[in-house]
């Protein structure tokens, strides 16, 4: 009987599951194509080739799947039965291993280990920076820094056409808090046109005096995140450190103003994927591309951000919630606390809670500070944590009072007629009293005033046009030398000795913003116009056209008769 040749495309699917004789040509072709495709994928995604990196396991899983798919195609083309049973087994093993390690390293099985990652020590209020150093308090938020930086770069015609400003980082520079951001290429073609010279400089913003400067470099930065191919900073680091677990690569400058990129080296201390802990730093010279790795204890003192604030907040929440076990953190929640959180919508439109924190410049380092509250979501703090972003040294200060958002609302309420918005506050120590200090901005994001709010009694608020005046008024308010109403204004009390009392009928009311302040104008029935700063006659908010009011006036300026 004549034998009939059966090709793979004529076989039922179950034949593929047999273990056929190895077809070397199919194997080699499939493997080569897979290696080429996956090298391209690795070149683009750059996962660390490390068993403790979940991304590496996913990369392996995808690689086997791609190999399986290509092998089937090649088998069909070459009309050979090579089978797919072994690759499927590998896929199953990888999937089970990945999921198993994710579960094993979870907080469910290792609550105690998670609670001990961050070492937290108790401290006194004296650890909070004193008001005597208020001239170095950085109150500017990133949005305000971006406005100043963009305005500065916009004045440099040779720079603004080719570069944008990158992300700002809060650092300590020559014993003063500043925000710095390197320029970045404005797309591929701008990089291609400027790659031989590199990025020419960076922006440095002084958040104390609200100024911005551009620092031009003698030699441009060629290894930066916005570059392409081998000059891309992330690719440069990965090619020289295939298995290194590193993230949070960001821009900083040393005390001489030299540019550097600093990245956090970390390890997973619980299972393969759990218990993330920073163990050191990698520092890259963006001009030459040279890099150096340091243990956490050996990181240069000028490098301020080795452990980022989000990780510190996550580790503190583990410390404060898992100390009595995982199930306690879910049900009874005895002794459980959390850092200050803010709720906002994510990319999918769902509301999520994120940690929120501020920065304090202290002893040459940048410290993250945030309030600590209970898990029931109330508006009060039990205390504060201060954490050094270079060393991970973390202190807990017991201090019951209003949370940061309540302090912000209290400050906004003092100038409600102006509609100013408070920034996230910093924390200072005023004669042994924890105090929130913050800036108040208008709708354009420009800083207009400063506010100081007592943490324990957040109805004690002082506002002024300058930081120094604000603190001075707050001090007097604390010492009961002035009333809360007097503390609202940054001007001395009016001399009313030449004012006369009048009763007028209001024909028209009009408010006008002038010089950063809101003024109210009153027109009486004789068409005479009186004006006053709205903050000085806040009772006018209850007055309507047609009402009669009693005022004290010199003929132009007026005050309401109490």
Mean pLDDT by 10 residues, the chain (562 residues): 49 48 75 94 96 91 88 79 66 77 86 95 90 67 82 83 92 90 95 95 86 93 97 97 97 97 96 94 98 96 95 96 91 89 70 83 89 80 94 93 91 89 91 91 85 91 88 85 53 67 89 68 88 78 85 85 70
Determine the 3-state secondary structure of 472 from DSSP: helix
The C-alpha atoms of residue 181 and residue 149 are separated, in whole angstroms, by: 9
Domains and CATH numbers, the chain: 8-104 (no CATH), 138-306 (no CATH), 331-488 (no CATH), 500-560 (2.40.50)
Tokens 């005022």 correspond to: 551
| Structural element, H or E, at residue 235 | helix 233-240
Name the residue among 12, 477, 42 with its Cα closest to residue 234: 42
Q: What is the DSSP letter of 380?
A: E
List the end-to-end C-alpha distance of the chain, in Å, as a whole number: 120
For 245, 369, 403, 425, 499, the CA distances from 356, given in Å and listed in that order, are 26, 9, 11, 11, 49
Report pLDDT for 556: 83
The C-alpha atoms of residue 314 and residue 336 are separated, in whole angstroms, by: 14
What is the value of pTM for the model shown? 0.79
Asked if 545 and 507 count as a contact pair (C-beta separation under 8 A), the reply is: yes
Report pLDDT for 4: 53
The C-alpha atoms of residue 104 and residue 275 are separated, in whole angstroms, by: 11
Asked if 373 and 400 count as a contact pair (C-beta separation under 8 A), the reply is: no
Report pLDDT for 521: 87
């Amino acid at each position: 009987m004549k034998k009939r040749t059966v090709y793979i495309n004529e076989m039922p699917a179950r034949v593929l599951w047999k273990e056929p004789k190895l077809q070397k040509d199919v194997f080699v072709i499939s493997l080569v194509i897979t290696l080429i495709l996956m090298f391209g994928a690795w070149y683009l995604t750059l996962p660390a080739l490390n068993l403790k990196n979940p991304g590496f396991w996913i990369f392996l899983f995808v690689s086997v799947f791609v190999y399986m798919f290509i092998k089937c195609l090649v088998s069909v083309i070459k009309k050979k039965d090579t089978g797919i049973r072994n690759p499927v087994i590998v896929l199953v093993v990888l999937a089970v291993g990945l999921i198993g390690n994710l579960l094993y390293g979870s907080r469910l099985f290792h609550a105690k280990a998670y609670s001990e990652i961050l070492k937290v020590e108790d401290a006194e209020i004296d650890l909070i920076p004193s008001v005597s150093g208020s001239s170095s308090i950085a109150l500017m938020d990133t949005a305000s820094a971006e406005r100043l930086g963009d305005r500065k770069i916009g004045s440099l015609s040779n720079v603004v056409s080719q570069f944008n400003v990158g992300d700002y980082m809060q650092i300590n520079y020559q014993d003063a808090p500043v925000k710095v951001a390197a320029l970045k290429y404005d797309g591929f073609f701008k990089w291609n046109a400027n790659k031989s010279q590199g990025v020419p400089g960076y922006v440095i913003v002084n958040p104390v005096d609200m100024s911005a400067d551009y620092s031009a470099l003698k030699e441009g930065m060629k290894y930066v995140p916005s570059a392409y191919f081998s000059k891309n900073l992330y690719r440069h680091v990965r090619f020289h450190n295939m298995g290194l677990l590193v993230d949070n690569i960001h821009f900083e400058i040393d005390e001489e103003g030299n540019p550097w990129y600093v990245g956090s080296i970390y390890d997973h201390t619980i299972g393969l994927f759990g218990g993330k802990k920073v163990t050191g730093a990698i520092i890259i010279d963006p001009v030459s591309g040279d890099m150096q790795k340091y243990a956490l204890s050996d990181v240069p003192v000028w490098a301020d951000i080795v452990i980022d604030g989000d990780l510190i907040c996550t580790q503190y929440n583990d410390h404060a919630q898992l100390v009595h076990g995982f199930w306690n953190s879910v049900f009874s929640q005895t002794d459980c606390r959390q850092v200050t959180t803010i709720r906002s919508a994510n990319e999918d439109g769902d509301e999520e809670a994120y940690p929120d924190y501020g920065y304090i410049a202290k002893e040459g380092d940048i410290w993250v500070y945030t309030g600590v509250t209970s898990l029931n979501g109330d508006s009060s703090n039990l205390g504060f944590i201060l954490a050094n972003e270079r060393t991970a040294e973390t202190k807990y200060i017991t201090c019951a009072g209003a949370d940061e958002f309540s302090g912000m609302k209290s400050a906004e309420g003092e100038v409600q007629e102006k509609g100013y918005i408070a920034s996230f506050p910093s924390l200072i120590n005023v004669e042994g009293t924890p105090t929130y200090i913050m800036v108040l901005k208008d709708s354009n994001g420009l800083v207009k005033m400063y506010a100081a709010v007592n943490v324990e009694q957040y109805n004690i608020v002082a506002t002024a046009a300058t930081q120094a005046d604000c603190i001075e008024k707050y001090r007097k308010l604390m010492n009961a030398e002035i009333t809360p109403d007097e503390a609202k204004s940054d001007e001395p009390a009016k001399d009313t000795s030449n004012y006369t009392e009048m009763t007028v009928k209001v024909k028209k009311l009009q408010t006008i913003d002038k010089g950063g302040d809101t003024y109210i104008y009153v027109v009486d029935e004789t068409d005479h116009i009186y004006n006053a700063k709205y903050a000085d006659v806040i009772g006018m908010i209850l007055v309507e056209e047609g009402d009669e009011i009693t005022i004290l006036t010199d003929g132009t300026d007026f005050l309401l008769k109490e």
